[in-house]
Structure 1
Amino acid sequence: MPGTMLAAGVVACSATLAVGLVTAGAAAVFAQRLAGAADAAALAAADAGSGAVPGVPCDRAAEIAAAGGAVVLRCELEGLVATVIVGAEFARLPATAAARAGPPP
C-alpha cells in the first residue's frame, strides 16, 4: 500500500510539472509570434510612411497585425520612423509587444 501511494504521488507531481512546462512553452511561442506581428506591422507602417507602398501607415499596420492574430493598440509615425504596439490574449490574459521600424539615424 505505501508503494502505491508513492507511485501515485510521483505520477501526480510529474503530470503537474509537465502541464506547467507545456504552458510555459506555449507562452514563449505566443510571445514570439506576437513580437513578429509587431515587427511586421511596424515595417508595414514605415514602408507606407516612406511612400514605398501605397496606403495610410497605421491602416497598413492594422492589416498586417490582424493577419498575425493581433490588434494594433497604438501606432505613431514620427518622420519615417514607425512605432507600433500590438496586443492579443493568451489564455485570457492580455499580452502586448512593441516594435519600431524606419531608416537608421
Structure 2
Amino acid sequence: PNAIQNPTLINELKELKGHEVMQPVYVQPTVQPSQPVILNGDIHEHTEVEESLNIMDKEKELIIKALKKHRGKRKDAALDLGISERTLYRKLKEYNIEE
C-alpha cells in the first residue's frame, strides 16, 4: 500500500515509511543557447539603407509632418504626437523648425 491508497493523518503523529511517501520529482530546466540571426546566409551581410535611421532625424520628420497635417496648429500637432505643447515648442527650437 502507498500513501494514496492508505492515507495517514500526520496530525495523529503516525510514522510514515519511506516507500509510503510520494517523493517529489525535480526536473532541471535546460536553456538552449540562442542562435545568431543570419540573414541571406551571411552574418556580416547587410543592406544599405538610403534614409536616415537616426532617431533625432525621425523625430524631426514626425514633428514637421504633424505640423503640416494640422496646418501649423501646435496644440493639435502636440496632441497627435503624444507630447505637451511646451515639449513641442522646445523641440521646434532644438531642431530649428520654422512654423
Structure 1 length as normaliser, TM-score?
A: 0.29
Relative contact order (C-alpha < 8 Å, sep 6+): which is higher?
A: 1
Higher strand share: 1
Higher helix share: 1
Q: Compare CA radii of gyration and give the structure with the larger one.
A: 2
Structure 2 length as normaliser, TM-score?
A: 0.30
